[in-house]
C-alpha cells in the first residue's frame, strides 16, 4: 500500500501533538522556539543524510510502503517528515522528562528530604 509509511509518521506525530497540547510541553509552551528547533534540526539532519548519501553510506531500500517520490537520489519524501517527527518527539520527551524531574525534586528544587 503506497504511502503507508508516511501515514504512520503523520498519525504518530498527531498523537505527539495531543500529548504536547495536553501537557503544554513544546509548541504550546514556546511555539516560536519549538518551531525554530524543529526546522533547524530537520535541516541539519537532511544535510547529514545528503552527506551520507553522497558518501554511499545511506541508500534507500525498496519498499511498497513508500510513496515513490524522491527529493534526491536515495532521499524519499518521507525522510523529511520522519526527521521533523523525530525532532519534535525529542522536544516533547525532553520537556516531559524535565517536568517530571522538577516535580520529583519538590516545589523548592530540593530532593524533598529534611535539611540537616
The residue behind cell 511498497 is 64
Res 112: pLDDT: 47
Instruction: Round to whole Å and give the CA distance between 90 and 72.
Output: 26
Domain coordinates of the chain in residue numbers?
Answer: 4-13+26-94
- 10, β-bridge pairs: none
Q: 13-51 burial, b if ≥16 CB within 10 A, otherwise e? A: beebeeebeeeebbbeeeeeebeebbeebbeebbeebee
Residues 27 and 35: beta-carbon distance below 8 Å: yes
**Segment-wise mean pLDDT, segments of 10 residues, the chain, 116 residues:** 93 98 96 98 97 92 89 94 98 96 78 44
Residue 115, pLDDT score: 40
pLDDT of residue 114: 45
On whether the CB atoms of residues 106 and 112 are closer than 8 A, the answer is yes
Helix (H, G, I), strand (E, B) or coil at 76: strand
Whole-model pTM? 0.86
Task: Identify the pLDDT of residue 62.
Answer: 84
Please tell me the predicted confidence (pLDDT) of residue 113: 44
The confidence score (pLDDT) of residue 28 equals 94
Residue 72, beta-bridge partner list: 75
Amino acid at each position: 500500500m503506497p504511502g503507508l509509511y508516511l501515514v504512520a509518521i503523520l498519525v504518530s506525530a498527531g498523537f505527539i501533538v495531543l500529548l504536547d497540547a495536553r501537557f503544554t510541553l513544546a509548541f504550546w509552551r514556546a511555539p516560536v522556539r519549538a518551531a525554530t528547533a524543529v526546522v533547524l534540526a530537520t535541516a541539519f539532519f537532511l544535510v547529514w543524510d545528503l552527506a551520507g548519501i553522497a558518501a554511499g553510506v545511506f541508500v534507500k531500500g525498496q519498499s511498497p510502503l513508500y510513496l515513490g517520490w524522491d527529493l534526491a537520489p536515495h532521499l524519499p519524501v518521507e525522510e523529511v517528515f520522519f526527521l521533523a517527527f523525530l525532532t519534535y518527539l525529542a522536544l516533547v520527551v525532553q520537556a516531559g522528562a524535565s517536568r517530571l524531574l522538577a516535580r520529583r525534586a519538590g516545589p523548592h528544587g530540593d530532593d524533598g528530604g529534611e535539611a540537616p
